[in-house]
Amino acid sequence: MTETVKYILSLIFLYISLCCQPAQALVLDNLYRVERVVVGQGPDAMRGVAAEALREVLVRVSGSRGVLRDAAVRAALARADSFIIQYGYGEQRYTEEGNLGQLLRLDFDQRAVAELLRASGLPIWSAQRPAVLVWLALDGSNGLEFVSLDTTPALVQELTQAFASRGVPVIFPLFDLQDEMLVAPSDVVQFDESRLLPAAQRYAAPALLFGRILQLSSGELVGDWIYRQHSAELSLSGEAVDLAGLFERAVDRIAATLAAEYAITPHRYFEDGLLLYVEGVDGFEEYAHLVQSLEAIEAVTHANIDRVDGNSVYLRLVAEGSLQQLELAIGLAADLHRLPDGHPARRLHKLPVNLFYSLDGYGDISR
């Protein structure tokens, strides 16, 4: 089984392991890996697909196809093989032209890709990414039914793969008794938000895609969907003779909308760093894991302890991006909860704190 298939299946089966736990964000491990079927082996085969593969990685990591127009990026694509740190071959596969080839796996240098984007002032989207809850209904030969792994496995796999190609994780409802009591397939087809939005709250996903897919007698597929991300709402559609092309344009728009909010442009707004207050840190283990979680955020270069006051910690963050972007990134990457504006800690502290959070505990951070 290839790494790509493993990755796709892990996303497909994700909702089984989620049970009723919130799924606000997921860490994507293969952002810098691309697989292609090639004829022949060796450096020539690798160089033949290197530029195309690097383009895919750059779009995934930045969240935008617009980065491909940058002059420095175009120059880097001409030497794409220099960004590859490892490659290897897998099982035999057929190319799109029907020729027997072999799977080629390319791993790109994460640091080199980030430095390329950063040097050009282009956005960088962390591997910790918000999940999209997908709640669709198919109107096909079996009547009206939810799109799920049990009822429409091929559709679920194609949809998941389309999102994976842009580095966007998706989850599906459990379709258990609780979901069935709240939402029927007809509610999804009718875009009944009064039923869908309350039902979606149990999954705590930052974004929701819902709507219908209609299978015509000719076999052609037509989709009409609504995508909600906080206060933003997009009306999306797709039309294709098979599953492969149905979601492409919609996924591009969704990925661009997510990246516009979560990807961080490498500009340092706080030259001396900003001060982060976290309460509820009990013991060295939580303390160390908190620092590790913060420094894992793409935009954060360093998280240094400024002072400790009981179970409250003040950390100096050396980071890129605006305050709003950092708040979103911190909310995804560590199990921190923003303290409300009226919280006593905001009134009583004597230091120029920029961000206020509470920590739920080490067990939740490592989940």
Where are the domains positioned within the chain? 30-119, 128-262, 274-365
Number of neighbours of residue 303 by Cβ within 10 angstroms: 22
Paired with 73 in beta bridges are none
CA–CA gap between residue 162 and residue 242 (Å, rounded): 13
CB 120 within 8 A of CB 159: no
- How many CB atoms are closer than 10 A to CB 128? 22
Residue 145: beta bridge partners?
Answer: 138
Q: For the chain, report the end-to-end CA distance as a whole number of angstroms.
A: 27
- In one-letter notation, the amino acid at residue 200 is A
Q: What pLDDT tens digit does each residue of the chain (367 aa) get?
A: 454 444 444 444 444 333 334 446 788 989 999 999 998 887 888 888 999 999 999 999 999 999 999 999 999 999 999 999 999 999 989 888 888 999 999 999 999 999 999 999 999 998 889 999 999 999 998 999 999 999 999 999 999 999 999 999 999 999 999 999 999 999 999 999 999 999 999 998 889 999 999 999 888 999 999 999 987 899 999 999 888 789 999 999 999 999 988 898 876 667 678 899 999 998 888 888 889 888 888 788 889 988 898 889 999 998 888 888 888 888 776 578 888 888 888 877 677 888 899 886 433 333 3
Contact 9, 156 (CB under 8 A): no
CA separation for the pair 102, 311 (Å, rounded): 56
Question: What are the contacts of 74-82 at 24+ separation with CB within 8 A?
Answer: 76/116, 77/51, 78/51, 80/47, 80/50, 80/51, 80/53, 80/54, 81/43, 81/46, 81/47, 81/50
Tell me how far apart the alpha carbons of residues 193 and 204 are, in angstroms, rounded to a whole number: 16
**CATH class for the region spanning 274-365:** alpha beta
Q: Return the C-alpha torsion angle 281, 285, 291, 296, nearest 10.
A: -130
What CATH architecture does domain 128-262 belong to?
2-Layer Sandwich (3.30)
Angle between helices 248-262 and 153-164 (to 10 degrees): 40
3-state SS of 280-297 is CCCCHHHHHHHHHHHHCC
